[in-house]
């Protein structure tokens, strides 16, 4: 039984309906639409991370995938696979994260630092001095800030999806099958 029922976008005022349209089949937004303020607040952070972030799209999406994988939230992971691929991630990188990979030869130090940071952020842990040094050497402060916002925001989103018991929408079943979590 759903904790919070999803609202039909057609029943919402135009301003709120616009937040639900065009984003694809996202059950979480339908549930959040029960509170206009919650939906709007989530939308502001989502826009910052997805459209206004200065962090390279590949790194941002790999970090979000790592957070989702670390928290075992296949729902968020599946919703970000296409974004990661569009941002320049390879299918092999996405599969590796889905399988629990933490490091791979040939991966640059900046990407490894971003993924290590994302694993720490998923659990609210401070990164090690070594990871912090690598990030400082690789990314300017504005991009490190956007990495912080992306990873902690999607940690919250993953927890929301888990608490709501959201299931992957049928339209995304193919992605879920192509990128399974091996231990869930």
Question: For the chain (length 184 residues), average pLDDT per consecutive 10?
Answer: 81 75 69 88 89 96 97 96 97 92 78 95 94 96 97 96 92 95 76
pLDDT at 39: 86
pLDDT at 183: 72
Quote the number of domains for the chain: 1
CA dihedral (138, 142, 145, 149) in degrees, to 10, reads -120
95, part of any domain: yes
pLDDT at 29: 85
32, part of any domain: no
pLDDT at 23: 55
Contacts of 131 (CB under 8 A, 6+ apart): 113, 116, 117, 120
What's the predicted TM-score (pTM) here? 0.91
Which tokens belong to 143?
């991009």
5, part of any domain: no
46, part of any domain: no
pLDDT at 15: 73
Do 154 and 8 touch, CB atoms closer than 8 A? no
Q: Which residues of 33-72 are buried (b: 16+ CB within 10 A; e: fewer)?
A: beeeeebeebbebbeebbeebebbebbbbbbbbbbbbbbe
15, part of any domain: no
Can you give the CATH number for the domain in which 117 is found? 1.20.1290.10
Signed CA dihedral, 161, 162, 166, 169: sign only: positive
Residue that the structure tokens 């200065």 belong to: 54
Domain that holds residue 86: 55-178
DSSP element (H, E) containing 95: helix 91-98
CA distance 59 to 57: 6
pLDDT at 150: 97
64, part of any domain: yes
128, part of any domain: yes
CB atoms < 10 A from the CB of 110, how many?
Answer: 15
Do 49 and 87 touch, CB atoms closer than 8 A? no
Do 59 and 108 touch, CB atoms closer than 8 A? no
Do 31 and 62 touch, CB atoms closer than 8 A? no
pLDDT at 21: 63
133, part of any domain: yes
pLDDT at 27: 83
């Amino acid at each position: 039984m759903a904790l919070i029922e999803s609202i039909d976008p057609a029943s919402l005022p135009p301003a709120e309906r616009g937040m639900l349209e065009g984003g694809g089949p996202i059950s979480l937004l339908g549930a959040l639409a029960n509170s206009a303020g919650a939906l709007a607040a989530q939308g502001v952070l989502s826009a910052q991370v997805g459209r206004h972030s200065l962090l390279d799209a590949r790194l941002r999406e790999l970090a979000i995938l790592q957070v989702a994988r670390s928290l075992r939230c296949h729902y968020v992971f599946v919703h970000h696979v296409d974004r990661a691929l569009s941002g320049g991630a390879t299918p092999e990188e996405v599969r590796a994260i889905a399988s629990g990979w933490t490091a791979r030869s040939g991966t640059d130090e900046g990407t490894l630092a971003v993924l290590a940071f994302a694993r720490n952020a998923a659990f609210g842990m401070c990164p090690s001095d070594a990871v912090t040094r690598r990030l400082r050497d690789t990314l300017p402060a504005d991009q490190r800030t956007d990495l912080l916002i992306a990873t902690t925001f999607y940690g919250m989103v993953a927890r929301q999806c888990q608490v709501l018991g959201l299931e992957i929408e049928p339209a995304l079943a193919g992605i879920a099958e192509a990128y399974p979590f091996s231990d869930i």
